[in-house]
């Protein structure tokens, strides 16, 4: 659970862990292990409809259970295409199933400044609970969604409910707030396009709009200011909560929050929880039905929760958890395919990128379970096998502020370079050396070498986004936890712009052309222009 106390007096949560096992159709130590060489039969994975039903020896390091709740409906993924490709907007965290599509920015010339186009003010949650006061605005990961509705959808909304305001238009922002409300904003004007929906508890993660445009918006609650705590479906046509999935008493971990942004894969909704469970739902308008679950943990360890969003390539899903696990799952049957131990709490979402026909996974961990100082481990893995291609180690410290402890390491999701930076990865690292400091790093995709690192004014949890010009030159926009916005030359790390705008940018931005939408802790959601 990610939070800041320097602005909103948020208390650290002590999480109870539940290790009891439920009665399941599958209850195995490891499972049937296949020969590692079997994957060599795949010459070009892009030509395969399904990746193989295979279990690698690394899975022996896990204890896992698979429960099938709906034995009538086939669990096979009907369509392995990325359903977010080509949609008219940004419907999920980082834009697509592989979490690598944050490349929507474009400029005509070298950026020189940032202007504020509008500021939208959210409500404020002033309730003091044992988890603190959460206030408003948005926190980690808190990325807004953006959609351009066509005329048919616009008409459906106008006929469906009285929730629309006079500012409702075809370009719309949707963002969850720490005040416990879901907001709808006219992208052009910054005015409320619909009435907000009160979901009852703070939203820390990124919602997801169903790419089938069936009216479903999926939202997870992050903190139990009140009970119940869980995840829900919003019916946008009727402008109401249409389905609620409460605490799961069969989960192996007793913290039932949902910060991760779910995904639609084929006919199914895949949602991961901080209770250590991967959920697979069949879905229809306004409703979801539980099909199956995967619960897992490392041998001789308690269960880790998943705050990072799952990445998906074809029928393989990839998750990370706060005990350092990186796990590949065959979404057809929910079996683990391979397991990798990346040492420590991993909340940044894994990123998949194809190279020479092979999907590779990039991930990095925090420095949480290692003491007052330690290592943030950044890795590149073969996403088909879990084989490590390289590992980069970055030294980090923890920081204490107002008697609260802040971990070091990587919270932001990596940004694969494009254009003239197609050989690089970009990310933010909380070094806390000196306290509250951080670095912006460019890393070689091929070797893992740190090509350069630049000191930021403050540490950063927000994920960077890309901007390109007509010549393919790439710039990076990133934000820090003191409210600064930076524009950086991707190839060299030179700072073009550093401007104080918000109070605390934990949230990740979206970028459309030369415009950025991002939420800040406090009350403000901003639309910015790059010029």
Give residue-wise pLDDT tens across range 336-346. 999 999 999 99
pLDDT attached to residue 20: 33
Query: What structural domains does the chain harbor?
Result: 26-530 (2.130.10.10)
Whether the bond into 283 is cis, omega within 30 of 0? no
pLDDT attached to residue 129: 80
pLDDT attached to residue 127: 86
> Using one digit for the tens of pLDDT, what is the confidence trace for 357-402?
999 999 999 999 998 999 999 999 999 999 999 999 999 999 998 8
- What is the pTM assigned to this prediction? 0.91
Task: Compute the 3-state secondary structure of the chain and give helix, strand, coil in percent, each to the nearest 5.
Answer: 5, 40, 55
Of the chain, the end-to-end C-alpha distance in Å amounts to: 36
pLDDT at 230 over 80: yes
> Using one digit for the tens of pLDDT, what is the confidence trace for 33-43?
333 333 333 44
pLDDT, mean of residues 216-240 = 96
Average pLDDT, the chain: 91
Q: How far apart (Å, rounded) are the C-alpha atoms in residues 9 and 481? A: 15
pLDDT at 494 over 60: yes
Q: What values do phi and psi take at 46, rounded to 5?
A: -65, -20
pLDDT, mean of residues 307-332 = 98
pLDDT at 13 over 70: no
pLDDT attached to residue 1: 57
pLDDT, mean of residues 227-237 = 96
| Token pair for 268 | 């199914």
pLDDT category, 476, cuts 50, 70, 90? very high
| Token pair for 51 | 């990746």
In the 8-state DSSP scheme, what is residue 285? T
Q: How far apart (Å, rounded) are the C-alpha atoms in residues 170 and 525? A: 19
In the 8-state DSSP scheme, what is residue 53? -
């Amino acid at each position: 659970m990610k939070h800041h106390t320097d602005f909103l007096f948020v208390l650290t949560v002590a999480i109870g862990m539940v290790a009891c096992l439920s009665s399941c159709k599958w209850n195995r130590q490891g499972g049937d292990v296949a020969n590692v060489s079997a994957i060599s039969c795949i010459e070009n994975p892009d030509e395969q409809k399904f990746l193989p039903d295979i279990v690698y020896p690394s899975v022996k390091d896990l204890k896992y259970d698979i429960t099938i709740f709906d034995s009538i409906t086939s669990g096979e993924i009907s369509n392995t295409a990325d359903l977010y490709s080509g949609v008219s907007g940004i419907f999920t965290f980082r834009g697509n199933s592989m979490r690598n599509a944050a490349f929507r920015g474009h400029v005509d010339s070298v950026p020189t400044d940032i202007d504020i186009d509008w500021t939208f003010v959210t409500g404020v949650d002033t309730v003091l609970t044992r988890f603190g006061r959460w206030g408003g605005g948005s926190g980690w990961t808190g990325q807004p969604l953006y959609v351009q509705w066509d005329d048919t959808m616009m008409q459906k909304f106008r006929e469906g409910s009285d929730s629309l305001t006079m500012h409702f238009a075809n370009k719309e922002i949707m963002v969850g707030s720490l005040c416990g409300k879901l907001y709808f904003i006219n992208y052009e004007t910054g005015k409320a396009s619909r009435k907000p929906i009160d979901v009852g508890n703070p939203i820390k993660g990124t919602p997801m709009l169903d790419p089938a445009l069936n009216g479903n918006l999926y939202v997870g609650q992050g903190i139990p200011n009140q009970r119940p705590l869980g995840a829900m479906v919003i019916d946008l046509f009727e402008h109401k909560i249409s389905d609620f999935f409460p605490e799961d008493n069969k989960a192996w971990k007793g913290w039932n929050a949902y910060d991760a942004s779910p995904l639609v894969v084929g006919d199914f909704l895949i949602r991961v929880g901080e209770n250590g469970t991967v959920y697979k739902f069949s879905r229809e308008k306004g409703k979801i039905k539980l099909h199956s679950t995967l619960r897992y943990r490392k041998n001789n360890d308690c269960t880790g929760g998943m705050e990072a969003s799952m990445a998906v390539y074809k029928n393989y899903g990839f998750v990370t958890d706060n005990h350092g696990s990186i796990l590949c799952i065959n979404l057809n049957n929910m079996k683990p395919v391979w397991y990798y131990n990346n040492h420590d709490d991993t909340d940044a979402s894994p990123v998949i990128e194809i190279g020479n026909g092979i999907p590779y996974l990039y991930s990095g961990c925090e420095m949480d379970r290692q003491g007052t100082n330690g290592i943030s481990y950044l890795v590149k893995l073969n996403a088909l096998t879990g084989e490590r291609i390289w590992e980069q180690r970055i030294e980090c410290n923890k920081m204490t502020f107002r008697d609260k402890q802040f971990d070091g390491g990587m919270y932001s999701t990596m940004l694969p370079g494009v254009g003239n930076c197609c050989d690089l990865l970009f990310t933010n690292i909380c070094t806390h050396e000196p306290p509250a400091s951080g670095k912006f790093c460019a890393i070689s995709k091929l070797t893992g070498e740190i090509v350069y690192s630049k000191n930021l004014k403050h540490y950063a949890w927000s994920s960077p986004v890309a901007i390109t010009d007509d010549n393919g030159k790439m710039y990076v926009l990133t934000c820090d936890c003191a409210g600064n916005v930076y524009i950086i030359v991707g190839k060299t790390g030179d700072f073009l712009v550093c401007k104080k705008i918000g109070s605390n940018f934990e949230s990740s931005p979206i970028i459309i052309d030369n415009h950025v939408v991002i939420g800040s802790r406090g009350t403000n959601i901003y639309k910015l222009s790059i010029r």
